Amino acid sequence: MSSPPRPVITPARRGYSVEYRGKTLLSRIDPVGRGERAAAEVPREGRTLYFCPSPLLGYGLAVLLAGTGEDSAVLCVETDGELLSLSLMSIEREVLDHPRFALTGIGEGAPLCAFVRDRWGKRSFRRVVELGLSAGRQLDEGRYKELAAALRREIAVEWGNAMTLVKLGRSFIRNAVRNLVLLQGVPDFKDFSLGKAPALVLGAGPSLDGFLDALEKSGLAGGGAAARPFRIICVDTCIPVLLERGIIPDLAVILESQHWNLRDFIGARDSRIAAAVDLSAYPATAGVLGGKVLPFFTPWTTLRLFDRLKGASLLPEILPPLGSVGLSAVELARRLGGGAVVCSGIDFSFTLDRGHARSSPAHLAGLAGQNRLKGLMDPAAAFREGVFTAVSKAGLPVRSNPAMRNYRSLFEQEFSADPRIRDLNGTGLPLGLKTLSTGEALELLAAGTGGARPGAEGPGKPEETGIREELPAFIKNELAMLEELRDILTGSRPPEKLDALLDGADYLWAHFPDCAGSGKRPGDRGFLKRVRVEIDPFIRLWHLTLGELRPPVG
């Protein structure tokens, strides 16, 4: 059995040349000079991650590190074990030990991104600049391209999340404080079990209409929710679409933190539809349907408040932060039941004249806005910057945008490996799932095995037992912490506990532009003034929440 090939190192005019697997990876003519010139010519920008595949002997790395700022770093990746050993033995110790340098053999995108986060922290870089210091990248060029793309995506997601936190972080935490009242007498997930019945998860995309037409024609949707052999979980925007057809969903999922989706509930007040409500959702939407409420929690960032809630056993079921209500609905269906999950209307795409299903608020607004000069087609939406043409599951051209595409990719990443989840063929983007024809989907739903309807009256109904004793005590502790912090910032108390209180009340400043997504805070006077402005509104908010709790029974 032949031994694996080893790198061959030979003297060059300046430095050493490297040959491996029949390729010359470092030039025989001045390899040191070539590496240093390449490093010197690279663009110098702040907060840059310089990605160097296959550094080999490390020529040029010292020049690169010397010429970049303290807020930049150099990441070298070598996917070949022999060449990685060569680099570890050959690169100067001053470079290997440099705090802004890292050499790794990680060859997968997600672990490499985690490695960068652990090494230099979140939101440390604004861009990735790829630098080839050797021809070693040719041995695994496809993988190196994928790694560079993964790093760029990770940076884009981190900054996108940070911008979302800047814009909406204050609303998220204020909503969560107000929605703590949902935790009193809260039912457990088992009280909303779907059993083994199939779950039909509905988004409000344009493809939903065709399936609902077929569902009505089949007669499976009639007779009320209790008579159906399957369960319906829908996003909140679907509620008017279903009610227009006389279809009552078993569970509606509410995620939106702003007031925009209040129009989703027009005509649905006191409809007795059970609602799964995220803690960060707009508080006015939680009780509008009049049915059972199932709180859940998607951590939009890392906060010590969440740790305290978890320590007090007050956090409801935790779902991953998927960003889209459609994805959250699929995750809930997967957790609440053990049967098949069929998706429809989760399109992540639109057509020239349709962005949502019929009778949805957006569709009704489009109909109401028609006049002699404006029709249903919206060229501004269909052809705005970033919108592109894609191919649907049915092979038809549709429109999409980068945000929808990212959600589609996340959907495939989260759910494509679960054999229970199927998708309807239609005009939506492919989701990485096995697709069903309308007939196959109806046949699967009709063969349901039954099971308790979510929130139904009966043995599974949770008892109303008044407030949980931990909740008012928790709120009073939060109030005491904020009042103490306020006293320190106004000079009424000594500042010994200032840092501990600022860290503990991180929800006061987690949305600041200079803090969002990083978990770090400055300590300058301006920062403290901004924190001081946040305290009084939150004190009033905690008092309001405390006053809305029901008194204990008995």
**pLDDT tens for each residue of 94-113:** 999 999 999 999 999 989 99
The answer to whether residue 180 sits within a structural domain is no
Chain centre to alpha carbon of residue 158: 10
Counting residues of the chain whose pLDDT is more than 90, the rounded percentage is 56
Based on the structure, what is the number of domains in the chain?
A: 3
- pLDDT tens-digit series, residues 2-15: 566 888 888 878 88
Last-in-domain residue among 139, 159, 179: 159
Phi-psi map region of 285: left, alpha, beta (phi>0 left; psi -120 to 50 alpha): alpha
How do beta strands 290-297 and 341-344 pair? unpaired
The answer to whether residue 166 sits within a structural domain is no
The answer to whether residue 458 sits within a structural domain is no
For residue 307, name the pLDDT band (cuts at 50, 70, 90): very high
pLDDT of 518 above 60: yes
- pLDDT tens-digit series, residues 466-475: 556 789 999 9
Structure confidence at residue 106 (pLDDT): 94
d(CA 117, CA 106): 14
The answer to whether residue 182 sits within a structural domain is no
The answer to whether residue 383 sits within a structural domain is yes
Do 277 and 295 form a contact (C-beta atoms < 8 A)? yes
The answer to whether residue 167 sits within a structural domain is no
Structure tokens that stand for 541 in this block? 């908010």
- pLDDT tens-digit series, residues 60-98: 999 999 988 899 999 999 999 999 999 999 999 999 999
pLDDT of 253 above 90: yes
Last-in-domain residue among 108, 140, 159: 159
Structure tokens that stand for 121 in this block? 């922290």
pLDDT of 357 above 60: yes
404 and 440 both lie in a single domain:
yes
- pLDDT tens-digit series, residues 476-513: 999 999 999 999 999 999 999 999 999 999 999 999 99
Smallest Cα–Cα separation from 160: which of 129, 123, 130, 124? 123
Residues 6+ apart with CB under 8 A from 472: 546, 549
137 and 252 both lie in a single domain:
no
Structure confidence at residue 459 (pLDDT): 30
Which residue is it, tokens 């919108």? 387
439 and 508 both lie in a single domain:
no
Structure confidence at residue 354 (pLDDT): 80
For residue 193, name the pLDDT band (cuts at 50, 70, 90): confident
Do 527 and 508 form a contact (C-beta atoms < 8 A)? no
24 and 141 both lie in a single domain:
yes
396 and 496 both lie in a single domain:
no
Sequence-ordered strand ranges (E) for 298-428: 317-318, 341-344, 388-391, 397-400, 421-424
The answer to whether residue 502 sits within a structural domain is yes
Task: Name the percent of the chain in helix, strand, coil, to the closest 5.
Answer: 45, 15, 40
State the average pLDDT over residues 380-384.
70
226 and 269 both lie in a single domain:
yes
For residue 463, name the pLDDT band (cuts at 50, 70, 90): very low
One-letter amino acid of 478: E
Last-in-domain residue among 446, 479, 507: 446
d(CA 360, CA 8): 67
Which DSSP string corresponds to 272-317? -EEEEEETTS-GGGSSTTEEEEEEEE--SS--HHHHHHHHTT---E
386 and 519 both lie in a single domain:
no
530 and 396 both lie in a single domain:
no
Smallest Cα–Cα separation from 256: which of 293, 298, 289? 298
Smallest Cα–Cα separation from 406: which of 379, 386, 420? 386
43 and 97 both lie in a single domain:
yes
Structure confidence at residue 224 (pLDDT): 66
Do 233 and 329 form a contact (C-beta atoms < 8 A)? yes
d(CA 309, CA 504): 12
The answer to whether residue 140 sits within a structural domain is yes
pLDDT of 552 above 60: no
Q: Give the CATH number for residue 141.
A: 3.40.50
- pLDDT tens-digit series, residues 113-125: 999 999 998 888 9
235 and 115 both lie in a single domain:
no
Strand, coil or helix: 422:
strand
For residue 231, the cross-strand partners are 199
pLDDT of 324 above 70: yes
34 and 148 both lie in a single domain:
yes
Structure confidence at residue 462 (pLDDT): 40
Smallest Cα–Cα separation from 482: which of 201, 177, 240? 177
Residues 6+ apart with CB under 8 A from 121: 518, 520
Output the CA angle 254-257-259, nearest 5 degrees.
95
d(CA 103, CA 52): 9
Structure confidence at residue 443 (pLDDT): 93
142 and 207 both lie in a single domain:
no
pLDDT of 223 above 70: no
Q: Write down the pTM of the prediction.
A: 0.81
- pLDDT tens-digit series, residues 134-182: 888 899 999 999 999 999 988 988 888 888 889 999 999 999 999 999 8
Residue 509 belongs to domain spanning: 468-548
